[in-house]
Amino acid sequence: MSVGFSVDWPEAPSWLSTVRKVGTSLGVVVVTLFGLLVITFVVGRMVPADPVIAIIGDQADQAAYQRVYEQLGLDRPLYQQFFGYVRDVLHFDFGRSHLSRNEVATDIARVFPATVELATAALLIGTLLGVPLGVVAAVRRGSWIDQLARVVGLVGYSTPIFWLGMIVILIFYAWLGWIPAGNRVGLYYEGLVEGPTGFLVLDAVLAQEWDVAKSALGHLVAPALVLGWANMAYISRMSRSFMLEQLNQEYILTAQAKGATNRSVIWRHAFANMRVQLLTVIALAYCGLLDGTVLIETVFGWPGLGQYLTTALFFADMNAVLGAVLLIGVISVAINLLCDVAYRLLDPRTK
């Protein structure tokens, strides 16, 4: 006969558990960012473009080539170049663009707000239209609204976004004249408003420059709608799927049996339980918009990070390319980290 016994080990304090979780999250972020640095450095060295030729041209003599080659540090061992690259990035030094002759950090600070403004407007359009469309399509499954949501999703997924942008320009600018030409604002209003946010529409409103705000909004509508259309297709499809999953749960039947109204069942119960999943979808959509504006900014002549990156690629301006790619990667990591924090606020069970 054996006597069993157990020892109740003291639980770790709640603050210690929180510190461990925060430390783990920060460790993951650090490893991810380091991997991003490695990838951008390797890509910059593997691209078949000579940065020296891009700077001095192919007509320079050998002495000038060698001098610039050494100034760029390309004569040093690869590991020394990498650690020098990491050191510069940690000091927010991304090098100098040979196209603009400015620091890459200065150029990015100038063009990035335009991309954020465009991506945010597209996200608002896609979310405000896509979520209700997906929810209603799930609630009225098999109806004409459900069929409409499916068509929107199919067309949004299958239509190349650059082609859609060109069609919009052809019809609404060249034929009908309803939308203005490229850029963020009309030529007459350029430089009139330089606010603190970098979002031209918002800065113009804050400065009460209503003509500038109207012009900026007119230039923003077309590219934002094109991006928002593709975004709406994705969000509506996922919203429909999440809502159908929740409507098939037993707690929905319980709520209906207790006499809850359809409005309460849909929005108070089902929608509340799909918020975390929907937040993930919206966050991923925003990350996709930030790095997916390259084509739309090129098509519409929008002076943002996408157009800056495209121009840098054409002229082999690798400092500018790597700086832009690294920024997009850092923002994607930051958005995912903020999502993790939001999960705990929206759903206490994730704690």
pLDDT at 127: 92
Does residue 218 sit in the same domain as residue 269?
A: yes
| Same domain, residue pair 314 and 344 | yes
Within-domain flag for 209? yes
List phi, psi (to 5°) of 68.
-70, -35
Domain shared by 200 and 265, yes or no: yes
Residue 2 domain-assigned (yes or no): no
Asked whether residue 4 is assigned to any structural domain, the reply reads: no
Clarify whether residues 188 and 274 are in a common domain: yes
- Answer yes or no: is 220 within a domain: yes
In tens, the pLDDT along 160-186 reads 888 888 888 888 888 887 888 778 888
68 and 216 share one domain: no
Residues 63 and 189 in one domain: no
Cα–Cα distance, 330 to 335 (Å, whole number): 9
pLDDT per residue over 66-95, tens digit each? 887 777 777 788 888 888 888 888 888 888
Are the C-beta atoms of residues 325 and 40 closer than 8 Å to each other? yes
Regarding whether 165 and 207 lie in a shared domain, the answer is yes
Q: Are residues 31 and 126 in the same domain?
A: no
**Does some domain include residue 235?**
yes
Q: Where residue 182 sits, what CATH number does that domain have?
A: 1.10.3720.10
Judged against a pLDDT cut of 50, whether residue 304 lies above it is answered with: yes
Q: What is the pLDDT of residue 319?
A: 82
| Lowest mean pLDDT, pick from 44-53, 121-130, 217-226, 314-323 | 44-53
Q: Kindly state whether residues 301 and 335 are assigned to the same domain.
A: yes
In a domain, 166, yes or no: yes
Q: By percentage, how much of the chain surpasses pLDDT 90?
A: 5
Tell whether 17 is covered by a domain. Answer: no
User: Do residues 333 and 33 lie in contact, with contact meaning Cβ atoms separated by under 8 Å?
Assistant: yes
**Is the CB of residue 115 less than 8 Å from the CB of residue 290?**
yes
Give the number of domains in the chain.
2
Please tell me whether residues 115 and 143 are part of one structural domain. Answer: yes
Q: Does the structure show a pLDDT above 90 at 43?
A: no
Q: What is the pLDDT of residue 164?
A: 85
Which of the listed residues 90, 122, 148 is the one where a domain comes to its end? 90
Find the domain containing 321 and state its range.
104-350
Give the Cα separation of 126 and 233 in Å (integer). 8
Alpha carbon of 12 to those of 20, 61, 113, 246, 348: distances in Å?
A: 11, 69, 45, 36, 20
Q: Please state, as a whole number, how many other Cβ atoms lie within 10 Å of the Cβ of residue 51.
A: 20
- Asked if 169 and 308 sit in the same domain, the reply is yes
Buried b (16+ CB within 10 A) or exposed e, 186-225: beebeeebeeeebbbbbbbbeeebeebbebbbebbbbbbb
Q: Which residue type sits at 107?
A: D
- pLDDT tens column, 184-218: 888 777 777 877 787 888 888 888 888 888 888 88
Where among 38, 60, 90 does a domain terminate? Answer: 90
| Domain end position, chosen among 90, 124, 142 | 90
Q: Name the pLDDT band for 158 (thresholds 50, 70, 90).
A: confident
Q: Is residue 14 part of a domain?
A: no
Rounded to 5 degrees, what are φ and ψ at 297?
A: -65, -35
8-state DSSP, 12: P
Q: Say whether both 185 and 273 belong to one domain.
A: yes
